[in-house]
């Protein structure tokens, strides 16, 4: 039997999920952080795409930064964003398997809870688009202090897949649920 608010797996939306979505915030303030040793605000096509997708869905970007592929810098930038008014922090870059890809290692210690379904679903969707290379992705999501953290790959195709198929359809719902008090 599914837990309260979970779908029974039949592909339909449960009444509880529909109710929670209806009560969810329609606009979520977000932070965008690009992890790159080579990009600047002028050349950050992935970060620009993230901003466009977030804003075109009716949400607002209230913080944007570019940081080097360095765990301490990534962690510090995420903490700066979390200290502000945003409800969701979206990082792009550094989720692969190259030696400089350390975004998951930088973020995991910050998480109160991980949302494993995000990475699992992202890899399934990626597999449908790019095949077995999807296994190189270490995309992840989680919560810290009731705020959302997403670590996305740096490719524009991966950003579009993650935002359009996973993050944006559920962002208000996620923000509303994560802010609820026990």
Instruction: Please check whether residue 58 is in contact with residue 91, taking contact to mean a CB–CB distance below 8 angstroms.
Output: no
Concatenating the DSSP letter of every residue in 154-165 gives SSHHHHHHHIII
Q: Is 87 buried (19+), middle (13-18) or exposed (0-12) by CB count in 10 A?
A: buried
Structure tokens at 22: 């209806």
Confidence (pTM): 0.88
Q: How far apart are CA 154 and CA 42, in angstroms?
A: 16
**Cα separation of 182 and 180, whole Å?**
7
User: What are the angstrom distances between the C-alpha of 52 and each of 43, 134, 142, 160?
Assistant: 15, 24, 23, 10
Sheet holding 29-35, edge to edge: 60-67, 29-35, 88-92, 147-152, 140-144, 113-114
What pLDDT, on the 0 to 100 scale, is given for residue 19? 66
Q: What is the pLDDT of residues 78-106, one digit of tens each?
A: 999 999 999 999 999 999 999 999 999 99
pLDDT of residue 12: 63
pLDDT tens digits along 4-61: 444 444 556 677 666 656 666 689 999 999 999 999 889 999 999 999 999 999 999 9
């Amino acid at each position: 039997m599914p837990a309260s608010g979970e779908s029974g797996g039949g592909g339909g939306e449960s009444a509880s999920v529909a109710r929670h979505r209806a009560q969810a915030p329609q606009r979520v303030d977000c932070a965008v952080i690009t992890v790159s040793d080579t990009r600047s605000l002028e050349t950050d096509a992935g970060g620009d795409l993230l901003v466009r997708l977030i804003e075109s869905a009716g949400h607002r970007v209230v913080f944007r930064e570019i940081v080097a592929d360095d765990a301490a810098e990534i962690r510090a930038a995420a903490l700066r964003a979390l200290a502000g008014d945003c409800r969701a922090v979206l990082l792009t870059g550094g989720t692969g398997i190259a030696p400089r890809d350390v975004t998951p290692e930088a973020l995991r210690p910050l998480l109160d809870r991980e949302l494993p379904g995000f990475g699992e679903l992202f890899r399934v969707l990626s597999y449908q688009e790019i095949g077995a290379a999807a296994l190189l992705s270490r995309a992840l999501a989680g919560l810290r202090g009731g705020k959302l953290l997403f670590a996305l790959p740096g490719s524009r195709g991966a950003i579009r897949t993650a935002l359009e198929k996973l993050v944006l359809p559920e962002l208000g719902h996620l923000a509303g649920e994560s802010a609820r008090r026990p």
